[in-house]
Structure formats: structure tokens, C-alpha cells
Amino acid sequence: MDVILCEPDAERVVPLRRRGGCIVPRGTWRQQLVREPSEFIFITPGRGTQVRPA
């Protein structure tokens, strides 16, 4: 799986392999690109959470 961070200047791809992890900075939109069957755990605070329209 790759995590794509939508940063102000460009998108940054963080490849997650073999139980890798990353921290998404507050206020940064992100997407996941699943390349093969994967397990993904994320923690998001409930208050103020937004979903970007497709």
C-alpha cells in the first residue's frame, strides 16, 4: 500500500511495506493506493474530521 499525502506544493508518496507506518500531519489530505491485499489501521480524532468530496 502507498499513502499519498496531498501537500501544498505536490503530492508525496509514502510506500508502506511489511508492517510499515506513517504519521499524516494534521490538516493534510491523504489517499491510500492498495497494491495488493493489505491490512490498514488508522486512528482519526472524531471531532472536526472532514471527508473530501470525491
Listed by start position, the domains of the chain span 2-33
Q: Long-range contacts made by residues 29-34, C-beta under 8 angstroms, separation at least 24?
A: 29/5, 30/3, 30/4, 30/5, 30/6, 31/3, 31/4, 31/6, 32/1, 32/2, 32/3, 32/4, 33/1, 33/2, 33/3, 33/4, 34/1
**Contact present, 28 and 7 (Cβ < 8 Å):** yes
Q: What is the pLDDT of residue 19?
A: 83
Q: What is the pLDDT of residue 6?
A: 92
pLDDT, tens only, 1-54: 999 999 989 999 999 888 888 888 888 888 999 988 888 887 777 676 677 776
Q: What is the pLDDT of residue 13?
A: 95
pTM of the model: 0.70
Give, for 33, the enclosing helix (H) or strand (E). Answer: strand 29-33
